[in-house]
């Protein structure tokens, strides 16, 4: 991929927006020099919208219609993203839908995703959110972490760009482990975007 002097990225999120907020703070502080040009979300009650409003960023709500196919929805999603302008990277953060193959093909090697475990462990269909942390605890793992990867046609199967670990501590609950993993996500997602901006990220 070739970029201009500043990478432009859009955020794709259906979450509360804690990692999105960390990205915005990194942009504001200057530690992230890539440009966030907007947010795409799926519902009007998503917390990430509040973050976009405070940052004076445009946001677009693309709500899935009753009975609408995944392919039709992703066509509208694609149009919404492109309406924001020229985009180098789509930063998926807590996006709750599996993207279809035609959408992936249009954005090949441009969609980042963060997963709250050390892929390939605890990835795949149905492994998201608190389910992941519960699976880690049930397995008795001593270590967990997060993975930032490129999205492909599979589920959590794209090329891994970066992984960071954290310990699983005695007495951990889903909530305490989730908090520790999310801290890694907030720290490293902006850093990965900056690595792309500076063309320093291996295998990208």
User: Using alpha carbons only, what angle is made at residue 163 by residues 141 and 98, rounded to the nearest 5 degrees?
Assistant: 90
Cis peptide before 120 (omega within 30 of 0): yes
> Residue 45 corresponds to which tokens in the numbers above?
């009650």
| Banded pLDDT at 203 (limits 50, 70, 90) | low
Q: Would you name the residues annotated as active-site residues?
A: 115
User: 66 or 6: whose pLDDT is higher?
Assistant: 66
Of 56, 57, 51, the C-alpha closest to 85 is 57
- 126-134 long-range Cβ contacts below 8 angstroms, 24+ apart: 127/156, 128/96, 130/174, 130/178, 133/174, 133/177, 133/178, 133/181, 134/174
**For 51-92, what is each residue's pLDDT tens digit?**
999 999 999 999 999 999 999 999 999 999 999 999 999 999
Residue 3, pLDDT above cutoff 60? no
Residue 180, pLDDT above cutoff 70? yes
| Mean pLDDT of the region 172-193 | 97
| Mean pLDDT of the region 34-54 | 97
Query: pTM value?
Result: 0.93
**For 140-153, what is each residue's pLDDT tens digit?**
999 999 999 999 99
Residues 6+ apart with CB under 8 A from 87: 8, 9, 10, 37, 81, 110
| Banded pLDDT at 204 (limits 50, 70, 90) | low
| Banded pLDDT at 4 (limits 50, 70, 90) | very low
Residue ranges of domains in the chain, CATH in brackets: 8-197 (3.40.50.170)
**In the predicted model, what is the mean pLDDT of the chain?**
94
Least confident of 2-16, 59-73, 118-132, 188-202: 2-16
| Mean pLDDT of the region 28-38 | 96
Residue 41, pLDDT above cutoff 90? yes
User: 111 or 200: whose pLDDT is higher?
Assistant: 111
């Amino acid at each position: 991929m070739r970029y201009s002097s500043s990478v432009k990225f859009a955020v794709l999120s259906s979450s509360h927006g804690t990692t999105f907020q960390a990205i915005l703070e990194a942009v504001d502080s200057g530690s992230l020099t890539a440009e966030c040009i907007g947010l795409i979300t799926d519902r009007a009650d998503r917390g990430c919208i509040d973050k976009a409003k405070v940052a004076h960023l445009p946001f677009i709500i693309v709500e899935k219609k009753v009975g609408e196919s995944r392919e039709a929805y992703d066509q509208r999603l694609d149009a919404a993203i492109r309406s924001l302008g020229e985009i180098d990277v789509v930063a998926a953060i807590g996006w709750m839908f599996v993207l279809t193959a035609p959408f992936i093909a249009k954005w090949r090697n441009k969609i980042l995703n963060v997963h709250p475990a050390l892929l390939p462990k605890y990835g795949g269909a149905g492994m998201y959110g608190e389910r992941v942390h519960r699976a880690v605890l049930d397995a008795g793992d001593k270590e967990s972490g997060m993975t930032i990867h490129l999205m492909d046609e599979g589920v959590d199967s794209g090329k891994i760009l970066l992984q960071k670990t954290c310990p699983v501590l005695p007495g951990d609950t889903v909530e305490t482990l989730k908090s520790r993993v999310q801290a890694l996500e907030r720290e490293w997602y902006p850093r990965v975007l900056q690595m792309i901006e500076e063309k320093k990220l291996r295998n990208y």
